[in-house]
Amino acid sequence: MPIRGGSNVCVYVMAPRGADPGAAWTPETLPERLALLHGWRRCLVLFGLGLVLAAVLPPFYVLPAALVALTGFAWILNGATTFRRAWFDGWLFGIGFSSAGFYWIANALLVDADRYGRLFPFALAAIALGFGLFPALAALFARIAPAGAPRAAALMVAWLLVEWLRSWALTGFPWNMLGTSLGLMDALLQPAAWGGPWVLSAIILLAALLPALMAHGGRLPRTRALVGFALSIALIAVVWGVGSMRLSAHATTYQQGTVLRLVQPNIAQADKWRSTLQDSHFATLIALSLSQPASEQPATIIWPEAAIPFQLLRKPQTLQEATTVIPDGGLLLAGAVRASEGTDGTLQPWNSMLVLDQTGLVATYDKHHLVPFGEYVPLRGILPIDKLTPGATDFVAGPGPVVINQGNLPPFGPLVCYEVIFPAEIIGAQGRPSWLLNITNDGWYGESTGPYQHFQAARLRAVEQGLAMVRVANTGISGFIDPVGRVLSSLPLGHRGVLDGPLPEPLAEPTLYARWGDWTLFFSLIPLIMILAWTLQASRRVGDGGTGSATGRC
């Protein structure tokens, strides 16, 4: 409660722990009650709110979950009277969010359960504890601001900055950024063309934390609550309206005479690398590629990541057999694991995409952004572990993004596996392609949320760049995505088959994000920083530091 002191200063004293234990929990007193939580109840609520936040991610898209989770988190942070407490609160919240959002990563250990299965629970814990450090950092930054509306506004700014940090720190992992949740509707994704993933996350943060900004003195009166909820809904409605207009202005058009066949063999990861089955897998790819076309004969056949393993690629007849599926004047784009002898005599493997015409191999792309622990082991001389993919030798990284221009196929930008999640690494020094191709193998993660999240990341890259995205996955999801993010057709997860379709044309002009890249982060931060400045000024003017603050000037 406020205690008026000398020099026109109001000092706010937080109620002692356990005060009014019998008091009813009401919507109006919820901010104060959450701030005063302590002990195991505080820990449990923080972890639970983190779990709730993960419900906004693909494939669920429960947008109200962001409002519940982030507003509750902001109110609990009002009770963090020390920086250590804020850090720990953020870590618990992040552990909950990471547990539900990234659990599928550990599924890769179950593919070879005899070797790695025992590590599964430890990997789950490491994923949750490690990725939980990023929300902890956001909470630590937010604690700098006074409790109440300023702290909620500071949390918006901090969370967005931490998402950017996660996109490049330790080789980067910009997966499950909050803005991905706007993939619920095509229209809601459209701001990504102007501000990339950052503007989408800024929209979600603002919409989710508006009720927290409306709380006053540790309470949320009904009128203020209704205003906060109405503003949240209005913000999402405005974004939808603007996005709908952009969709109407960009109808899908197609490249003349360019029909692609996407081959999804749906080979279980546990069987994929068995030497006794590799010829059978290759025969499946050939058969699917030669199956009767649904309409127009496809000009280009596309196989997923690592469709041709190294052992099979060493046989001279493999590429000869592969060329038999290529239509006259067409191409085969195939994922393959290739290797060559290094200067020291050891084999150096690459995760590659091969481009073949009827005469043989004409171009190669080597994946440049490798997966830590999956394709190479960081600090290999220190860590006594092997990578998850077969073979003891680390993969070699390629030189970077390229544009492949072969035959009659419009020039494209190849992306292997999770290279598609890095918004700033899509276009390289060779310039802008006509479309993007992502080949991948999500079979490592089974029937989990991971493949859905991966597909939506590819969809977001299409909107950001204004380029069509074609995605071919071993077990799914494969599909055609137009330059504004509309999924034109797709093959579901866990399905074997082919998908024929025409190639969409790019937008006539590059998007703002395509021109400016991650500099748009600063544009996205401006409104959040303005809100933070406004709340700080209002806090000084009215002397409302909110529950958990030390002092407030009247």
pLDDT tens-digit readout, 495-533:
999 999 999 999 999 999 999 999 999 999 999 999 999
- Of the listed 32, 417, 419, 505, which one is catalytic? 417
- Residue with tokens 């590819």, as numbered in its chain: 458
Sequence-distant (6+) residues with CB within 8 A of 386 are 377, 392
Phi first, then psi, for residue 473 (nearest 5°) are -120, 145
DSSP structure string for 484-534: TS-EEEEE-TT--EEEEEEEEPPPSS--HHHHHGGGHHHHHHHHHHHHHHH
Token digits of residue 36:
């005063």
* Amino acid residing at 215: A
Distance of CA 428 to the CA centre of its chain: 21
Task: Please state the pTM of the whole predicted model.
Answer: 0.91
pLDDT for residue 383: 59
Token digits of residue 355:
């481009």
Kind and range of the H or E run holding 260: strand 254-264
Please tell me the distance from the alpha carbon of residue 173 to that of residue 163, in angstroms, as a whole number. Answer: 9
Look at residue 379 and give its three-state secondary structure.
Answer: coil
pLDDT for residue 2: 43
- Of the listed 32, 367, 375, 387, which one is catalytic? 367
Among candidate residues 140, 218, 237, the one with its CA nearest the CA of residue 546: 218
* Amino acid residing at 486: R
Tell me if 439 sits within 8 A of 333, measured CB to CB: yes
Sequence-distant (6+) residues with CB within 8 A of 519 are none
Tell me if 481 sits within 8 A of 468, measured CB to CB: yes
Token digits of residue 430:
């060779």
Among candidate residues 277, 150, 199, the one with its CA nearest the CA of residue 511: 199
Burial class of residue 509 (count of CB atoms within 10 Å of its CB; 0-12, 13-18, 19+): exposed
* Amino acid residing at 153: A
Please tell me the distance from the alpha carbon of residue 161 to that of residue 144, in angstroms, as a whole number. Answer: 15
Q: What is the dihedral of CA 410, 249, 420, 258, to 10 degrees?
A: -20
pLDDT for residue 218: 85
Phi first, then psi, for residue 418 (nearest 5°) are -80, 10
- Residue with tokens 């395509």, as numbered in its chain: 514
Token digits of residue 436:
């993007």
Look at residue 458 and give its three-state secondary structure.
Answer: helix
Cα atoms in the Cβ-side hemisphere of radius 13 Å centred on 417: 23
| pLDDT tens-place string over residues 379-430 | 666 656 665 666 667 888 999 999 999 999 999 999 999 999 999 999 999 9
Question: Domains of the chain, with CATH numbers?
Answer: 8-15+26-248+515-553 (no CATH), 255-506 (3.60.110.10)
Low-confidence ranges of the chain (pLDDT < 50): 1-19, 21-22, 545-554
DSSP structure string for 292-306: PPSSSPPSEEE--TT
Tell me if 267 sits within 8 A of 284, measured CB to CB: yes
Among candidate residues 12, 144, 29, the one with its CA nearest the CA of residue 75: 29
417 carries an active-site annotation? yes
Please tell me the distance from the alpha carbon of residue 496 to that of residue 63, in angstroms, as a whole number. Answer: 32
- Residue with tokens 């596996």, as numbered in its chain: 417
Sign of CA dihedral 303, 304, 305, 310: negative
pLDDT for residue 553: 30
- Of the listed 32, 163, 305, 425, which one is catalytic? 305
